[in-house]
Amino acid sequence: MAGHLLANSMVVAPSIEEADTLIINTCGFIDAAKEESINTILEAAELKKSGSLTTLVVAGCLSERYADELRNEIPEVDHFFGTEAYESIIKALSPDLKYALLGERTLSTPSHYAYLKISEGCDRPCSFCAIPIMRGKHRSIDKARIISEAQSLVRQGVKEIVLVAQDLTYYGIDVNGERTLADLLTTLSDESGAEWIRCMYAYPSKFPMDILPVIRDRKNICTYIDMPLQHASTEVLKGMRRGITRRRTEELLDAIRSEVPNIALRSTFIVGYPNETEADFEELMEFVEQQRLDRIGVFTYSQEDNTYADILGDPISAELKQERLHRLMDLQKIISHEKNMAKVGSTVRVLIEENHNGEYQGRTEFDAPEVDNEIFVRTTKPLTIGSFVDAVVYDASEFDLFANVVE
């Protein structure tokens, strides 16, 4: 969207106060995201009322899903658009703008990393999820376009490309009936020029095992997978329509670890799904303790309109959900601390991301931006943001490492 607008002579204002047009790209995934989106729209509506804003545009998933309701409730908004409505947005902002003009991608992330979407939409039937309603059926993005976008990002200075999709593992199925993520990763590794390529959001059921040798053997593919498992109890997984059991999940994790022994595994879990009993939750705790995943994120269940699970209601109280979330994260803190302490004395390659008055902060290939651990490095020489250094870990906390740069 930003690439189209900038190519059409629009200019990004340095602050909201100096902008005459504001485009809010919303999320409508779960309650917390909807609340954040709505609060942002309401704040912008106040600016519109005060006259400091000429045009207010709302786009993205929330307005795809609730455009009518939002239009009635917040009349200050001039235009509501759904997902991928780039052409309509451009036309609405100025009839002179040309949709055909597309510039380089404009990054909203720091210049050394970028997210790269390889497909849109999802064909999975997860009972709790509204994404297929908002994003539609799965569509793979053309491989040549992905490669060219990756090369263009690298030309702009991007060192790390983070591959995203609703489900990375489905790549290719809509094109030729086959999962072709391994082929895409191989070509990206050969031709993109990126120093790091990272895989996020890999669905566990029917996981394409042929990506594992590619991850293991390619130096510029991070030894890392983010695989949202959502739960461990077979009963809850069945209720969630995830197409996998606890046993099959364990077999998959064993197979991944035996193929790529030092892989960092990240996962996310939902607590408080309507059929989750105390015993199911204890089983999840036991699974997390047994599996010792490198990173986990935990969400409380959010009942979403028109999903399969909607009719089950939301019988587990918010307090109990929060309690389960904290118990699981407290357990993971212990696991994460132990795993981090085991790294003391080792040498790691660090991508430098921030400079805090001479103390630098970065990440290793085992950590994704924004959601995973950080590493704080000490050095006697100035470092450049976006550069790589080798560093020896001398201490660790629950979620951070501390290291000295090898000079």
By the criterion CB under 6 A, which residues form the site for ligand SF4? 122, 124, 126, 129, 131-132, 166-167, 203
Name the minimum Å distance from CB 182 to ligand SF4.
19
Instruction: Burial-class residue 368 by CB neighbours within 10 Å (0-12, 13-18, 19+).
Output: buried
Name the minimum Å distance from CB 347 to ligand SF4.
36
Residue closer to ligand SF4 by CB (options 206, 219) is 206
C-alpha to C-alpha distances, 407 to 159, 305, 376, 378, 387, nearest whole angstrom = 22, 56, 16, 11, 14
Name the minimum Å distance from CB 264 to ligand SF4.
21
Residue closer to ligand SF4 by CB (options 89, 229) is 229
Name the minimum Å distance from CB 1 to ligand SF4.
21
Q: Spell out a b/e string for 80-96, using b for 16 or more CB atoms within 10 Å of the CB, else e.
A: bbbbbbbeebbebbeee
User: Rounded to whole angstroms, how far apart are CA atoms 167 and 186?
Assistant: 18
- Looking at residue 317, the DSSP 8-state letter turns out to be -
Q: Mind giving me the DSSP string for 79-133?
A: EE--TT-HHHHHHHH-TT--TT---SPPPSS-TTEEEEE-EE------TT--HHH
Residue closer to ligand SF4 by CB (options 122, 375) is 122
Name the minimum Å distance from CB 135 to ligand SF4.
8
Closest of 16, 17, 12, 36 to residue 26, by C-alpha = 36
Q: Mind giving me the DSSP string for 244-272?
A: --HHHHHHHHHHHHHHSTT-EEEEEEEE-
CB atoms within 10 A of CB 229: 25
Residue closer to ligand SF4 by CB (options 253, 375) is 253
Name the minimum Å distance from CB 203 to ligand SF4.
5
Query: Distance between alpha carbon 80 and the CA centroid of its chain, in Å?
Result: 25
> Sign of torsion, CA 99 103 109 113?
positive
Residue closer to ligand SF4 by CB (options 126, 260) is 126
Residue closer to ligand SF4 by CB (options 267, 336) is 267
Contact 227, 257 (CB under 8 A): no
Residue closer to ligand SF4 by CB (options 84, 87) is 84
Residue closer to ligand SF4 by CB (options 97, 162) is 162
- Token pair 């993109």 is at which residue? 192
C-alpha to C-alpha distances, 156 to 113, 193, 387, nearest whole angstrom = 10, 11, 14
Residue closer to ligand SF4 by CB (options 196, 207) is 207
Name the minimum Å distance from CB 145 to ligand SF4.
22
215 in helix, strand or coil? helix
User: Rounded to whole angstroms, how far apart are CA atoms 193 and 105?
Assistant: 17
Name the minimum Å distance from CB 327 to ligand SF4.
23
Name the minimum Å distance from CB 129 to ligand SF4.
3
C-alpha to C-alpha distances, 134 to 36, 122, 220, nearest whole angstrom = 18, 10, 33
Residue closer to ligand SF4 by CB (options 203, 207) is 203
Name the minimum Å distance from CB 274 to ligand SF4.
16
